[in-house]
């Protein structure tokens, strides 16, 4: 079984599309890998698989082996420097052309989700992050049923729920929390994405929408608030072009000189 060597499985959920679920999954994967963990990313957002674009590996094709599909390896630096392996599987790799959409009925989608959980050769993996479609659909039910059946409670770490300051005011994100409660999936916490806008010139963060809703909602549901991520135009550019943006000379982020070429010390 393909998940037996996976230590921790984390679902990434959101009440609706466009709140940054795939972006948060990508950043979590990169951070865990940079911290030395081996990481897998499984994209089961079948109608809009955006994970391959986020990792700039859209044109890759996965191969079938006797042990299952081999996920695509992302080169995220030097393994000798203690950076963990990073592998990605997405329906996007199986589509004939970039950006093709799948128009499938529920049963075909649920069968695909099950196949993704059973037929991908992950090997030894510390964290498997699963990027799910928005909402609570047939794919979610199939995903959770298969995970509860095929993994141990220790393996199924839980779910990270992503929202935006505006979306917390809607019922969508609450539905995700209710879905977790009903299906018995632990909620690891809530991330508020697009929480304010950091001015690229003066670094001041302006809260365009309401502030702090994610924390209030997390408190209401008695789940952890994991943190907030501001709107970052440089991040958007990096995702859209697949390249690190050029920063003005002397730009420091967490003490790192962002104007230096990537990898420079
Ligand atoms: P979802 O998976 O919830 O549909 P995505 O992660 O695909 O959402 O994000 C939607 C769009 O918003 C993408 O173009 C992404 O690059 C952009 N985006 C997400 N989070 C941020 C952020 N914090 N700053 C800037 N752009 C962002």
Q: For position 244, what pLDDT does the model report? A: 57
Say yes or no to pLDDT of 177 above 60.
yes
Contact between 87 and 79 (Cβ < 8 Å): no
Rounded (5°) CA angle 211-212-213: 100
Say yes or no to pLDDT of 243 above 70.
no
Pocket test for ligand 1, best of 133, 236, 240, 243 (most atoms within 8 A of CB): 236
Question: What is the CA(4)–ligand 1 centre distance, in A?
Answer: 32
ipTM: 0.98
Q: Do 218 and 257 have their domain in common?
A: no
Rounded (5°) CA angle 26-121-8: 55
| Rounded Cα–Cα distance for residues 235 and 23 (Å) | 9
Tell whether 16 is in a known binding site: yes
Tell whether 180 is in a known binding site: no
| Rounded Cα–Cα distance for residues 214 and 200 (Å) | 24
| Total domains present in the chain | 2
**Closest residue CA from atom 14 of ligand 1:** 236
Contact between 26 and 55 (Cβ < 8 Å): yes
Q: Do 117 and 15 have their domain in common?
A: yes
For residue 219, is it within any domain? yes
For residue 1, is it within any domain? no
Give me the domain span that covers residue 248. 239-265
120 lines ligand 1 (CB under 6 A): no
Question: Across the chain, what does the average pLDDT equal?
Answer: 84
Tell whether 216 is in a known binding site: no
Contact between 29 and 129 (Cβ < 8 Å): yes
Tell whether 202 is in a known binding site: yes
Tell whether 22 is in a known binding site: yes
Tell me the two tokens of residue 166.
């505006």
Q: Which of 194, 135, 141 is nearest to 161 (CA)?
A: 135
The SS3 of residue 69 is strand
Tell whether 255 is in a known binding site: no
Q: For position 81, what pLDDT does the model report? A: 63
Question: What is the CA(150)–ligand 1 centre distance, in A?
Answer: 31
Of residues 256 and 103, more confidence is placed in 103
Highest mean pLDDT among 68-72, 126-130, 180-184: 126-130
102 lines ligand 1 (CB under 6 A): no
Q: Do 18 and 121 have their domain in common?
A: yes
Q: Do 251 and 149 have their domain in common?
A: no
For residue 37, is it within any domain? yes
21 lines ligand 1 (CB under 6 A): yes
Q: Do 54 and 144 have their domain in common?
A: yes
Quickly state the pLDDT bin for 253 (edges 50, 70, 90). Answer: low
Say yes or no to pLDDT of 209 above 80.
no
Say yes or no to pLDDT of 265 above 50.
no
- DSSP bridge partners of 106: none
Q: Which residue has the tokens 């019922």?
A: 171
Q: Which residue has the tokens 């995903």?
A: 143
**What does the pLDDT average to over 172-192?**
92
Q: Do 265 and 217 have their domain in common?
A: no
Question: What is the CA(145)–ligand 1 centre distance, in A?
Answer: 28
- pTM of model > 0.90: no
Q: Do 50 and 153 have their domain in common?
A: yes
Q: Do 135 and 62 have their domain in common?
A: yes
Q: Do 167 and 224 have their domain in common?
A: yes
Tell me the two tokens of residue 101.
């959409």
Q: How far is CA 162 from CA 31, 89, 192, 257, in A?
A: 17, 21, 6, 29
Quickly state the pLDDT bin for 172 (edges 50, 70, 90). Answer: confident
Q: Do 57 and 179 have their domain in common?
A: yes
- DSSP bridge partners of 63: 70
- For position 152, which CATH number holds? 3.40.50.300
212 lines ligand 1 (CB under 6 A): no
163 lines ligand 1 (CB under 6 A): no
**Closest residue CA from atom 6 of ligand 1:** 20
Question: What is the CA(19)–ligand 1 centre distance, in A?
Answer: 6
**Closest residue CA from atom 16 of ligand 1:** 236
Q: Do 256 and 192 have their domain in common?
A: no
228 lines ligand 1 (CB under 6 A): no
Quickly state the pLDDT bin for 137 (edges 50, 70, 90). Answer: confident
Q: Do 252 and 127 have their domain in common?
A: no
């Amino acid at each position: 079984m393909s998940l037996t060597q996976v230590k921790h499985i984390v679902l990434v959920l959101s009440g609706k599309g466009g709140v940054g679920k795939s972006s948060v999954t990508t950043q979590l994967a990169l951070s865990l890998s940079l911290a030395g963990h081996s990481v897998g990313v499984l994209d089961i957002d079948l109608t809009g698989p955006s994970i391959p674009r986020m990792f700039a590996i859209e044109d890759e094709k996965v191969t079938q082996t006797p042990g299952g599909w081999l996920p695509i390896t992302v080169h995220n630096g030097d393994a000798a420097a203690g950076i963990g392996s990073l592998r990605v599987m997405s329906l996007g790799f199986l589509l004939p052309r970039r950006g093709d959409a799948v128009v499938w009925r529920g049963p075909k989608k649920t069968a695909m989700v099950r196949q993704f959980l059973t037929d991908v050769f992950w090997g030894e993996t510390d964290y498997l992050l699963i990027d799910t479609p928005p909402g609570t659909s047939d794919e979610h039910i199939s995903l959770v049923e298969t995970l509860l059946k095929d993994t141990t409670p220790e393996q199924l770490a839980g779910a990270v729920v992503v929202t935006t300051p505006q979306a917390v005011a809607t019922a969508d994100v609450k539905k995700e929390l209710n879905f977790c409660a009903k299906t018995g999936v632990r909620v690891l916490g809530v991330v508020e994405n697009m929480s304010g806008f950091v001015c690229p010139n003066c670094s001041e963060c302006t809260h365009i929408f309401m502030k702090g809703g994610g924390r209030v909602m997390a408190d209401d549901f008695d789940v952890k608030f994991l943190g907030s991520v501001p709107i970052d135009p440089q991040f958007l550019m990096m995702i859209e072009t697949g390249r690190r943006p050029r920063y003005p000379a002397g730009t420091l982020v967490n003490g790192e000189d962002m104007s230096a070429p990537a990898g420079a010390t």
